[in-house]
Amino acid sequence: MSRLSAVKPAYWISGVLLVVAVVVPLLVPTYAKVDPHLWGFPFFYWYQLMWVFLSAILVSISYKLLRTEERRRRAAQGLGDPEAPDAGAAKEGDQ
């Protein structure tokens, strides 16, 4: 089986979200215009500002998807949750 087929859908979705968050604001022809105005701001400015907020939302969704997938993977391997309250106590006892 190829390694590509072993990649979980969460990684693909996360990758697409991150590519959209980075690439779309770089497509200058999509926002190199003045009209339409929004509250007196030219399209050029409010479109870029909109992508600041959209990118933050897309990155946070991607982070949550990957975090959930990592927890599932660790649980399937029997490694437990690294953020559990007793995880720190076990590490101190090992030293």
Bigger pLDDT: 36 vs 1: 36
Output the six-digit token pair for 9.
């859908």
What is the predicted pLDDT for the residue at 44? 83
Q: DSSP secondary-structure letter at 26?
A: G
Instruction: Flag the least confident range among 19-28, 32-41, 50-59.
Output: 32-41
Cis before residue 36, ω within 30 degrees of 0?
yes
Q: Determine if the pTM surpasses 0.95.
A: no
Average pLDDT of the residues in 60-66: 90
Q: Which whole number is the average pLDDT over 80-94?
A: 58
Of the two residues 43 and 22, the one the predictor is more confident about is 22
Spatial separation of the C-alpha atoms in residues 27 and 20, rounded to whole Å: 11
